[in-house]
Amino acid sequence: MAWKTFDMSRSDVADDKVALSDFRSTDQVAITRGEYVMRLADCAACHKLNFAGGYKIDTPFGSLVTSNITPDVKTGIGAMIERVLQRGQTRHWLARPALSGNALHRLYHAQRQGHARLSGLHVNHRIGEQGDQRKNAGMNFLYNIRLAIAGWDMLFFDNTQYITEVTQSEDWNRGKYLTDGPAHCGTCHTPRNLLGGERTDDYMQGALLGTWYAPDITPNPHTGIGNRSVDRLTTYLQTGSDGFAVAAGPMAEAVEHSFQYYSTPDLQAIGTYLKSLAASDHKPGKPMIMSEAASANAALGYEVNCYACHGLEGEGIEGMVTAFAGNHRMLSDDPTNLIHTMLMGTRAPHTEARQAAAGMPSFAWKMSDQEVADILNYVRNSWGNGAPAVTANQVAEMRAALGAHEKLSAPKTRRCSDLDEKSSVAAVLLKAPLHPAVPF
């Protein structure tokens, strides 16, 4: 098993002489392709737009800081050679599983992509310090030992390269390559076991990511993408909205920094592949029954706080504001994303096609835990929707996890008779003579 895991012989064709800081290319075609591969892989999601890293990621195993992938020699990848990069290694030997190695090592199924990626890398500015891995000591014991990663790799690292399925179409194969490779969809949408390995039996069936939830993207008609066509999926990934739902949170970042740059055929290929998967067996939860009084009170709260954007009938604003009516994404048994959005606010992705990037404010300061739950229960159980109850305890737990504001308390109103008569304001108010009304 160890030989199979660590056999990197297919990388032997890669250059092992030129340090990346010294690499230069005048091949504009290769540079352009390298940039496209970088967009496909969404490197900016973790390494920031300047690729200097420094982004903190909290995991169940401790906190890590993403690495600097600019050609800086001291803290970046400038001292590395192409072969090491292609093997998914770092200056400190084995890369942490956060690198999504199972996905990204498939980028090199064709050697031309490796060279093209390097052609794109050398044009980056060299930036030091921000993602200096020498300072990355936030992982808990055992997980902070590089050698221990070898054990994890033996259990969970899939060292096989992508193999074309001859019985499937070209679109399907391209879609599977993109989904499992550079787009690394399973990194978020596939649940993980206690050691952080992907539970392959639950492939793409939804997973909790800290304070966000990556939903089921199998063709399940209730919790997944069963009611979305390939064209609708393509529009969603390309623009951030399919005219009904609007991307938010980490998915909005993925659309803004990565998916909107995919070619239309590549996005259609991803849709083709996802629609071919076996649907999860997730069933819709039992809808709650709201009392007439609770429903009326929640409806008033919705009208005061939500209808201006989402509409009195939950219709939303096409391409800008999520619709609630008939939106299956609203009905998940896991209300994490809804609670997160209510407490922290969010915004849509900024894309070339939809540049408004509409934002939603936080309501943490304005609503108690129960009030947030009531609003969510109303939208999840109105206009033909039906979903299990969101509880005040769930909101309270999320509020604590996010460090969100508590509801502001209104200042106590004081009556004139309660004022201190010795105060100048009170004296004026209480002793001022009455004047007849002055006609206008």
Average pLDDT, the chain: 83
Alpha carbon 155 to its chain's center: 26
Q: What percent of the chain has pLDDT over 70?
A: 77
Q: What is the pLDDT of residues 371-401, one digit of tens each?
A: 999 999 999 999 999 999 999 999 999 999 9
Q: Are 171 and 210 in contact (CB under 8 A)?
A: no
Using CA atoms of 83, 87, 91, 97 in order, give the dihedral in degrees to the nearest 10.
160
Q: What is the pLDDT of residues 126-166, one digit of tens each?
A: 565 555 455 555 778 777 777 777 777 777 777 777 889 99
What DSSP designation does 52 have? -
pLDDT average, residue stretch 36-49: 89
Q: pLDDT at position 186, please?
A: 94
Alpha-carbon span 119 to 96, nearest angstrom: 25
Q: pLDDT at position 86, please?
A: 64
Q: pLDDT at position 73, please?
A: 85
Contacts of 318 (CB under 8 A, 6+ apart): 241, 243, 244
Q: pLDDT at position 404, please?
A: 97
CA nearest neighbour of 52 among 131, 124, 120? 131
Q: pLDDT at position 6, please?
A: 57
Alpha-carbon span 218 to 20, nearest angstrom: 40
**Three-state SS at 383:** coil
Q: Name the residue with higher pLDDT: 41 or 171.
A: 171
**Three-class SS string for 386-416?**
CCCCCCHHHHHHHHHHHCCCCCCCCCCCCCH
Q: What is the pLDDT of residues 73-125, one digit of tens each?
A: 888 888 876 766 665 555 555 555 556 666 766 665 554 455 555 555 555 55
Alpha-carbon span 246 to 319, nearest angstrom: 7
Q: pLDDT at position 54, please?
A: 86
Using CA atoms of 267, 321, 343, 48 in order, give the dihedral in degrees to the nearest 10.
40
Q: How many CB atoms lie within 10 A of CB 408?
A: 9
Overall residue count recorded for the chain in this entry: 440
424: tokens are 């100048």
In DSSP terms, 214 is beta-bridged to 207
The DSSP H or E segment spanning 176 is helix 170-180
Q: Name the residue with higher pLDDT: 176 or 141.
A: 176
User: How would residue 172 be classed by pLDDT, with cut points 50, 70 and 90?
Assistant: very high
403: tokens are 């460090």
Placement of tokens 């009084």 in the chain:
293
Q: Extract the runs of DSSP E, i.e. beta strands, from 290-416.
A: 346-347, 359-360
98: tokens are 């956060």
Global confidence as pTM:
0.85
Alpha-carbon span 63 to 138, nearest angstrom: 5
